[in-house]
Amino acid sequence: MGPVWLDVHAEQIDNEEKEILAHPSVGGVILFARNYYDSAQLRALTQAIRAAAGRDILIGVDQEGGRVQRFREAFTPIPAAQSYHALGAATEMAEQAGWLMAAELIAHGIDLSFAPVLDRGFACAAIKDRAFGEEQQVVTQYASAFSMGMRRAGMATTGKHFPGHGAVLEDSHLVTPEDPRDILQSSDFAIFKAFIEKGLLDAVMPAHVVYPQHDTQPASGSRYWLTHILRQQLGFKGVIFSDDLSMGGAHVFGDAPSRAKAALDAGCDMTLICNDRASAVSVLDALPIQSVPMADALRVRTPIDWQTLKQNPLWQTTHAVLTEFDTHWRTMQA
């Protein structure tokens, strides 16, 4: 599979998308709420995407929970990451949530939910309740449990946003924030370091944030961060995804092909270009044909049947517990 991830417009793929998906540089498709109507439709869509590609490309979605959950109707509401510690839940609940979230997606032909969020703190506009906590220990405990649940279901983990997005106030969807700290000495960086040392991450997604004490480029396109620190110093051997290169935080690298080239040259293995068809096509046209063999490790190996999953007593119990917990959290936040 190739290094480029892109999106599709609707609940079914059209002829133009079939042609695009067949391009050898396409390695994945990221889905959004607009791509979902019901369970049967979603399973048909993931099958159609792979059929059009003519190979087992990856399919992913942001299904972290809370405000970032693309599929809702017929799916279990996954609580916001902040809620577990805030309401005094045991880490086992986070593990069960990770398992159930991953199992439900796998049952619909989806390989990845880009999770867990490893950012610390709630002040950043882009993060807020997506973070598991303010303290390093809290984030590590709950995110570790969530990750183990994902893996138990058969889904790879993606830690984001390296080396830490939580301390900046600006939203990198809109601008390129700067974190003036020596982040290598921070608890933010220590979380990623601990996860990599424990072997809990199969993939990493860097932040569109500049850390000027270390480099002038955002981490998402920085050879210092992705090659020197992540690969060489921390010894990370998994897949590195860019965050969405259509985000405002990536525009400092130029047009879409320049952004993709900067990310790949810096050390990213796969690049995401979302909600901008013209830019995605321009990247496919500009990049040399290449493959990313290591990304094959992220594919789901053991399918799960949706109806069988829903008859599983563990799913039924976890579904009920998480639904009640999520309702309680949302009521408190209202």
Helix (H), strand (E) at residue 43:
helix 39-53
∠ at Cα 286 (281, 290), nearest 5°? 100
Asked whether 328 and 87 are in contact (CB, 8 A), the reply is: yes
Amino acid at 328: H
Q: What is d(CA 325, CA 97) in angstroms, rounded to the nearest whole number?
A: 11
Paired sense of beta strands 112-113 and 158-162, if any: unpaired
User: Within a 10 A sphere around the Cβ of 54, how many other Cβ atoms?
Assistant: 11
90: Cβ–Cβ under 8 A, 6 or more apart, which residues? none
- Under a CB-based contact definition with an 8 Å cutoff, are residues 270 and 241 in contact? yes
Distance CA 259, CA 246 (A): 9
**Main-chain phi, psi angles of 293, to 5 degrees:** -60, -35
- φ/ψ (deg, to 5) at 5: -105, 140
Residue 30 sits at φ, ψ, to 5 deg, of: -105, 130
Annotated catalytic residue: which of 9, 23, 173, 228? 173
Beta-strand pair 26-31/58-61: parallel
Q: Is 243 a catalytic residue?
A: yes
Which of these is catalytic: 243, 244, 269, 326?
243
Active-site residue, 173 included: yes
Measure the CA–CA gap between 198 and 202, rounded to whole angstroms. Answer: 11
Own/partner contacts of 325-332, CB < 8 Å, gap of 24 or more, are 325/79, 325/83, 325/87, 325/89, 325/93, 326/77, 326/78, 326/79, 326/83, 327/77, 328/87, 329/79, 329/80, 329/83, 329/86, 329/87, 332/87
Q: Which residues are marked as active site?
A: 173, 243
